[in-house]
Amino acid sequence: MHVKRGDQVIVISGNDKGTTGEVIEVHRQDNRVVVSGVNIRTKHVKPTQSNPQGERAQREFSIHASNVQLLDPKTGKGSRKRPTA
């Protein structure tokens, strides 16, 4: 996997193309990543005793890892190589 949790990435394809964000989760088995602020969907949450009203929560869902590139901090564009420290 070319990205890890905490990396800044840019989305290179899909509905959120051009959006940048931080990798929150990495699912290696499925080759998918969750990026903050990207692929936001509405999830209906059932009512519970603590939340009797229920709700429609917005949360980030995973996208395929091939749709993101590491963000180069100097240029602000995607890069294929890991930036050196």
Strands (E), 6-84: 8-11, 20-27, 32-35, 40-45, 55-60, 63-64, 68-71, 78-79
Answer whether 0.75 is exceeded by the pTM. yes
- CATH of region 8-79: 2.30.30.30
CB within 8 Å of 15: residues ≥ 6 apart:
39
Predicted confidence pLDDT, tens digits, the chain (85 residues): 899 999 999 999 999 999 999 999 999 999 999 999 999 999 999 999 999 999 999 999 999 999 999 998 888 899 888 766 6
Q: How many CA atoms lie within 13 A of 55 on its CB side?
A: 7
